[in-house]
Amino acid sequence: MRLITLAPKLTAALLLSLSIISAAIADEAELESWSNDATSKRALLTFVSQVTDERSPQYVPPEARIAVFDNDGTLWAEQPVYFQLLFAIDQARMMLKEQPALASESPYREIASGDLKAIAAGGQETLLKLMMQTHTGMTQTAFADAVRDWIATAKHPTTGRRYTEMVYQPMLELLDYLRANDFDVWIVSGGGVDFMRVWAEDVYGIPPENIVGSRLGLKYVNGELLREAKIEHINDKSGKPVGISQQIGHKPIMAVGNSDGDFAMLEWVTGQPGPSLGVLVHHTDADDEWAYDRDSHIGQLVRGLDEAAERGWILVNMKKDWRTVFASN
Amino acid sequence: MRLITLAPKLTAALLLSLSIISAAIADEAELESWSNDATSKRALLTFVSQVTDERSPQYVPPEARIAVFDNDGTLWAEQPVYFQLLFAIDQARMMLKEQPALASESPYREIASGDLKAIAAGGQETLLKLMMQTHTGMTQTAFADAVRDWIATAKHPTTGRRYTEMVYQPMLELLDYLRANDFDVWIVSGGGVDFMRVWAEDVYGIPPENIVGSRLGLKYVNGELLREAKIEHINDKSGKPVGISQQIGHKPIMAVGNSDGDFAMLEWVTGQPGPSLGVLVHHTDADDEWAYDRDSHIGQLVRGLDEAAERGWILVNMKKDWRTVFASN
């Protein structure tokens, strides 16, 4: 008698497994720049199949299908330094041309000397001054115009590519695949929110309201929003769950990052009852991009590498798992 | 010759006007709790017809159709005091029951005395203490649970209704009408964002990520988000354009409020090239709700009344323009 009552459940379970597997096979065409042999691709397809299948115990209704992506090193490259810092340097150079007398003071002195190392040698204080000088004291509109001009013309110091040509093709495909499965896709980055909002919709299809980042104080004066020299929120490390809670207001079910700056976000997202997925991109491709992890000055990945397996997070090996790195634009 | 070249344009303009007028007439059924004689209803229908008609010079593509609504006094009532303050008082009462010794100190002393005036007499300091004691020091989850319990059971001191039954029926219809016309609808309120997020989706159909409000500092500790006794952003007056810029990241084309706390938001939204609409709800219905404006201790409306006409903002006369006030639930 027991067998008879169990049989329909068993059959249902088998049918469900088959349907998930066949859905995963059918989806292989979706992530075409991902190697079909890669465990990471298989895990992504399985997760999406499970949370979108109404018969699955892992089913998640569309309104709760929120996926958050780090930006620097996850959606686009981040070497030799964060691209937003290269924007700041270019802005300071322009200001220096207009007012050469500035060269006597930091951070313009370091900019005038012409190499990135001088800025790095100036330490945190020089970097902060550089960011404040180039990111504050103007209206939101003027800042957006400056970013728009730069992103349309500036080129990366070693690849010679436009920065928007240094976005990862496999990630563009993953964003599309998630959206096609009714995920709401967000950027949750340590970068400045107003820097990303200028170009992220064109490049990733992610609208301004779906971007969480570090932010300055703003002041409304005479119908304009002025950017104040005051950091209000640093959206990195434990600041990421905070930024998500403030802006999205509910917990995502999927988080994708590439460094220990994303650890808290992945920990928070995957530390919930019900289905969730944590993904870390591991920069292993010195030929097509850069290879770095534990000792990197940028995008350092130590704890993520040590704990990914026990936490069930997917490690994406860029060299092995991706057939293409950069989008051809 | 000139007449000949002008004629097609003229014809097109006439056809366009006719199509907008007929669209507006067809839409009358949409806002059924709004009086058909009301200038406000006519203005709302015309605005929506214009921005959604691709042949209109006022056409706005769907991704830019953002409408922002104040909450207290705009989407639901706000008398005798903001409902969130009544929540705080009820929370403090519960804490007092559990720990009667608290009655010796403010704000519990005032709560124990049992009337709202004692709290008001304690001034800003008592109010702030009350809010901090009842809104901070717990996790985001625990706070959301407390709000959820309260909103499901608490009743308004004078009407005896549930608070969620004190939302304005004409505004629910306006939200639906805008969404049906591909507007993205947001709440931008001086109230606490985490207070509203618990129930706004059920009541207004507005999801957590589309709510901008005042917010506290949050801290991520051991996988939990803790609410800190630190006000990070007050989303009122000039804080409203700031909150919109931080969270939405682009300028809405429509703003709806009811008090001078909404003035800056309406000024900012309507002070742009291209189509925009500012709307102020004027509380004129002492029978079905409350009548107040210039001298009110809550929802004071002075500058809005004085400048609405010259700024082209719509004043909604609740008594005359609305056939029904509260949603029947």
Least confident segment among A118-122, A221-225, B35-39, B144-148: A118-122
Q: Closest Cα partner for B146 from B156, B231, B99, B154? A: B154
Measure B172 CA to nearest chain A CA, in Å. 21
Exposed/middle/buried for residue A139 (C-beta within 10 Å: 0-12, 13-18, 19+)? middle
Q: What is the pLDDT of residue A123?
A: 80
Query: Any chain B CB within 8 A of the CB of A244?
Result: no
Q: What is the pLDDT of residue A1?
A: 37
Handedness of CA B133, B138, B144, B150 (dihedral sign): negative
Q: What is the pLDDT of residue A14?
A: 59
- State the average pLDDT over residues B235-246: 98
Q: Tell me which chain B residues have a C-beta less than 8 angstroms from the C-beta of A65.
A: none
Give the pair of three-digit tokens for residue B258. 């009811």
ipTM of the complex in this document = 0.91
What would the pLDDT profile of A117-127 be if each residue is shown by its tens digit?
778 777 888 88
Measure A223 CA to nearest chain B CA, in Å. 5
Residue A13 identity:
A
Inter-residue contact A139 to A226 (CB < 8 Å): yes
Inter-residue contact B76 to B167 (CB < 8 Å): yes
Q: What is the pLDDT of residue B4?
A: 44
What would the pLDDT profile of A173-229 be if each residue is shown by its tens digit?
999 999 999 999 999 999 999 999 999 999 999 999 999 999 999 999 999 999 999
Query: Any chain B CB within 8 A of the CB of A293?
Result: no
Q: Tell me which chain A residues have a C-beta less than 8 angstroms from the C-beta of B209.
A: 184, 209, 247-250
Cis peptide before A208 (omega within 30 of 0): no
Q: Cα B104 from chain centroid? A: 37
Residues A194, B249: C-beta atoms closer than 8 Å: yes
Q: Closest Cα partner for B216 from B129, B136, B98? A: B136
Residues B268, A63: C-beta atoms closer than 8 Å: no
Label residue B116 by pLDDT band (50, 70, 90): confident
Torsion angle of alpha carbons B112, B115, B118, B121, nearest 10°? 150
Q: Which residue of A has its CA nearest to B270?
A: A223
pLDDT at A63 over 60: yes
Q: What is the pLDDT of residue B7?
A: 55
Query: Any chain A CB within 8 A of the CB of B209?
Result: yes
Tell me the C-alpha distance between B306 and A107, whole Å. Answer: 49
What would the pLDDT profile of B207-218 be if each residue is shown by its tens digit?
999 999 999 999
User: 151-190 in A: which are within 8 Å (CB) of B?
Assistant: 184
What would the pLDDT profile of A277-321 be if each residue is shown by its tens digit?
999 999 999 999 999 999 999 999 999 999 999 999 999 999 999
Residues B211, A264: C-beta atoms closer than 8 Å: no
